[in-house]
Homo-oligomer: A and B are copies of this chain.
Amino acid sequence: MPHKNQHIVLIGAGNLATQLGLALYEQGYSIVQVYSRTIAAAQTLASQIKATATDNLAQLMPTANLYIYAIKDDALPEVINKVTIDYGIHVHTSGSVPMAVFEKKRTNFGVFYPLQTFKKEKRVDFQQIPIFLEASNKQTFDNLNDITKTISENVHNSTSEDRQTLHLSAVFACNFTNHFYAIAGEVLKSTNLPFAVLLPLIREGVNKLETLTPKEAQTGPAVRNDQNIINNHLKLLKAYPEWQEIYQQITKNIQNYHNTKNE
């Protein structure tokens, strides 16, 4: 297994670092070390992937092939500055931070951005996850690409600009939609129905996108311009003024987007 010659250091022990560490470990890579600000978090992940743990950036192993910075975007510049090693390839995993954050601080660097939502406690199948790569030079890109292709079948080359736009679209498609699931669940609490009754509807909403564009797939009172139902729903939301406002704003935007208003 050639992967075993690849020594990887994980900087971070959060949701993404955990899932990525597990995926790399299962492919036979040696994750030699896990860093986290809190040693307990580093140890929790390290123990699962036979790595050592540290909470001290000055003690990072100096000759790994790949250093993966899987930390909050806000923390990236400071952590990159504190790491003095310039051996191997250094990549961050952010959708929004330009690759240039490594400029003049490392020789070989890049970005490894998996377009997915991660939770420590929920395993994901990395093979299906689109991963967007960028690198400071061709050799670095090729090395990064070789490693990435062993864990995902869905690897893309992407500029920092496109990656930012991708991340923005992902916020709408995933984070905001998840918040709407939360609102739906809160609204349901006034009945005795569990959130689970919504799951077949939610799943089919996604299945439709296999064959229809989101525009073609749109249903509901807004796109049908069914004002009686809209008024009724706004009345039902009177105890939740913020959600009432959101309902109005999204309804109006759906109607503008589909040109159904005052049809």
Contacts and interface: CB of A to CB of B under 8 A. Distances in A.
A220 interface: yes
A213 interface: yes
Interface stretch (A80-88, A102-110, A176-184): A176-184
Contacts of A174: 201-202, 205, 219-220
A211 B177 CA distance: 17
B117 A201 contact: yes
B169 A232 contact: no
Q: Which 9 A-B pairs have the closest CB atoms?
A: A175-B220, A182-B214, A173-B184, A181-B214, A169-B184, A177-B177, A162-B191, A172-B184, A169-B187
Interface string A175-204: 111111111110110111101011111111
Given A154-B200, A200-B128, A166 B191 contact: yes
A175 to B, nearest CB: 3
Interface residues of A, number: 95
Contact of A206 (B74, B170, B206): B206
A210 to B, nearest CB: 8
A232 B199 contact: no
Counting every copy of the chain, the complex holds 2
B190 A165 contact: yes
A121 B212 CA distance: 9
A205 B181 CA distance: 10
A68 B169 CA distance: 41
B162 A204 contact: no
Interface string A240-263: 001101110110011011000000
Contacts of A57: none
Interface string A145-184: 0000000001010100010111111111111111111111
A211 B120 CA distance: 12
A228 interface: yes
Contacts of A3: none
